[in-house]
Chains A and B, each alone.
Chain A
């Protein structure tokens, strides 16, 4: 019996270092492009400005935790509108389902921050230490000045990237230019420094040292994705029916008919960022980055064989091909029931949210009745109730609003800074920009018809834009 036996396999496995070789090709270029775009989005977004007038921040994307507002370009979301964020999360979820059912673990291979930063770190590593073989040699070499120097340089660059990464994060939560100034002059909040420190450390460790271990052991996503893939999802596949039996060029030269296309050059393993041998079949370690396809295509070009010994292929196609049929075109394999259903769902939620955003009210009223005491008997026989009214002005400018009583004939209302003598059936307020004004209103009725009577408060904006909202409440009086 060959291979490991029970005694040599321990209870704990040491990480097998991976030294991915540099490669160029279609998918590598795609990865470059996506890396550039995603990193640019991450670093540039907080610095984009968006004019919202004098009463609101001018940062295009801002999660203002202190004031409980979320700004995204023209959209401003209040905590009570959090369902938009929930909707966005649902869309992100369905979007991932869609991507997974169509192109497999494309998220893992191209867009996941763990992948992007690991990729970046590996480029730095190759730049300092050289390519795969040089890295292996350096790793085995005893510690000396040269090795130490190289390590120091590499780790410093990694650390710089990690710091830039952690540093950029905080700008999403406060005005970026101000925070940046405060940060460098030591005036920023303690939590800003702590956040940067933590994120710098995690980036450094996860990107520099943990790498594929994150995907294999720590991330739940591969497990979920394995459950979401089906025989219609594109996965990176080794056409073993074409490649096997594998053999070196030399061996193939002696027995031309005895071997498949795979020349066993191990290039696909050498370039793999997670150290996987895809020729063993689909496996959890494979993030479907397509780099092995690039590597193998180059080899095939050199040996004069058609490309695609390793390729994105659905399981259905693989079965068809093995049986001598033709794989479906890429477009056909992208279009199947699940992707169409996910896509429709995704669009429907998006459209519903856009519609709701367009139609939402930017004015609101909430009324809370004083419960203790429920009513107050006044000396002239009238009965008074008190209400706490919250007027919501969700526009970024102060607005004049009028609160009016309806359904309570003969009643008068006044705010707490006025007196009963000045009471009428409506009171006006200037509600500051983008905030809630809380006011206490007293309502007195000389002769309440019943001990409990329904009526309502209506708030109306007094400017050109207008808008109303109302809330029904009770007027309480003594039990007859």
Chain B
């Protein structure tokens, strides 16, 4: 309780501490107004001075269209550009090495190989995912690059060539070109013959048992299709003719889909990236695609394993 004559609800000097009070009182408890240390005040002023300097030196004050530029001319975009530049400079020798290496022997240099895979992964996300999907699993008409089935071949050199020159680019001489005739639409085969050959293809891919139709289809196949797809229907990579006996179908393996393929033909196109991307990027893309699990063994693989193991023992 406040002493009589000493109104604790007015600021006064607290007797015990000799410190002024705020003049607030709750149930006899009064709030001290302890003086701040002077150095604290100076620190506060120093912070204000710093803030003023900062506002002058760096972009800070919002204007109509942008913020004030600041005397130092700093910007986060500028920072990013500088950082990207540094990163590119850092990567340049690696990219250079990848570009000038023999792609078949790249596997013998695990460090380069890994850089190439990562570089390829990045380039894939920008250029390839639109058709092949972010996981490179493809879609109907766009090959799955993870599997072990390749139309034109799955070793590094072949993939690189496919990337560089594209597929079915009529305005480009080096492109991979093959055209399956539209057997039905162009009346090369009569409708029943098309049905028969479809039945035959379903049979050799073990999707349905042999029957009269498929047996008739065998003859049609031998006369019309075997030229490209081979007598056994196993395909021909020189022509990009798919293997018809395996479990992988670019456009679907059911009767309807195969029928459509035979009737209308399919002529998927892949752009030639040689025009748009640097050789090093294409090479990295090839290495990345090759690494997805379906890449076909090339003779240079053995040293990779040895070198990887060796390298793994060195602590960076």
Question: Which residues from chain A sit less than 8 Å from chain B, CB to CB?
Answer: 3-6, 9-15, 55, 210, 213, 217, 370-373, 376-381, 384, 386, 398, 416-420, 429-435, 437, 442
Contacts and interface: CB of A to CB of B under 8 A. Distances in A.
B247 A381 contact: yes
A432 B315 contact: yes
Given A372-B134, A419-B297, A432 B313 contact: yes
6 contacts: A3-B18, A379-B148, A379-B248, A381-B247, A398-B313, A416-B291
Nearest to A371: B135
Contact of A9 (B13, B144, B148, B248): B13
Interface string B1-43: 0000000000111000011100000000000000111111100
A6 B314 contact: no
A376 B20 contact: no
A417 B148 contact: no
B145 to A, nearest CB: 10
B276 to A, nearest CB: 25
Given A372-B134, A434-B315, A4 B246 contact: no
B137 A418 contact: no
Given A3-B18, A15-B39, A433-B315, A378 B12 contact: no
B147 to A, nearest CB: 5
A420 B148 contact: yes
Contact of A372 (B137, B149, B246, B308): B137
B247 A380 contact: yes
A9 B314 contact: no
A376 B37 contact: no
Contacts of B243: 379
B148 A6 contact: no
Given A6-B13, A386-B293, A419-B297, A376 B146 contact: yes
B86 interface: no
Given A376-B147, A379-B247, A442-B293, A430 B37 contact: no
A415 to B, nearest CB: 9
Interface string B281-294: 00000000001011
A433 B312 CA distance: 9
A4 B148 contact: no
Q: 9 smallest A-B Cβ distances: which pairs?
A: A372-B135, A373-B137, A379-B246, A13-B35, A376-B146, A381-B247, A379-B149, A373-B135, A12-B38
Q: B interface, by DSSP: helix, strand, loop or mixed?
A: loop
B305 interface: yes
Interface in B291-310: 291, 293-294, 297, 301, 304-305, 308-309
B35 A9 contact: yes
Contacts of A371: 135
Contacts of A417: 301, 304-305, 308
A380 B247 CA distance: 6
A432 to B, nearest CB: 5
Contacts of A376: 137, 144, 146-147, 293-294
A163 B136 CA distance: 58
A181 B162 CA distance: 55
Contacts of B294: 376
A398 B312 CA distance: 9
B36 A13 contact: yes
A9 B313 contact: no
Given A9-B13, A373-B137, A432-B312, A15 B37 contact: yes
Interface string B115-137: 00000000000000000011111
A217 B40 contact: yes
Nearest to A434: B315
A373 B313 contact: no
Given A12-B38, A417-B308, A435-B315, A4 B13 contact: yes
Contacts of A11: 35-36
Contact of A378 (B134, B147, B314): B147
Contacts of B37: 12-15, 213, 217
Contacts of A381: 247
A182 B28 CA distance: 64
Contacts of B308: 417
Contacts of B20: 6, 9
A369 to B, nearest CB: 12
A65 to B, nearest CB: 15
A3 B314 contact: no
Contact of A377 (B35, B134, B247): B247
A13 B35 CA distance: 5
B144 A373 contact: yes
B132 to A, nearest CB: 11
A98 B293 CA distance: 60
A188 to B, nearest CB: 19
Nearest to B296: A419
Contacts of B144: 373, 376-377
Given A418-B305, A430-B309, A9 B315 contact: no
Contacts of B13: 3-6, 9
Interface string B148-191: 11000000000000000000000000000000000000000000
Contacts of B36: 11-13
Given A377-B247, A384-B293, 16 more contacts: A3-B13, A4-B13, A6-B12, A6-B13, A13-B37, A213-B39, A372-B134, A372-B135, A376-B147, A377-B147, A378-B149, A417-B301, A420-B148, A432-B312, A433-B315, A437-B312
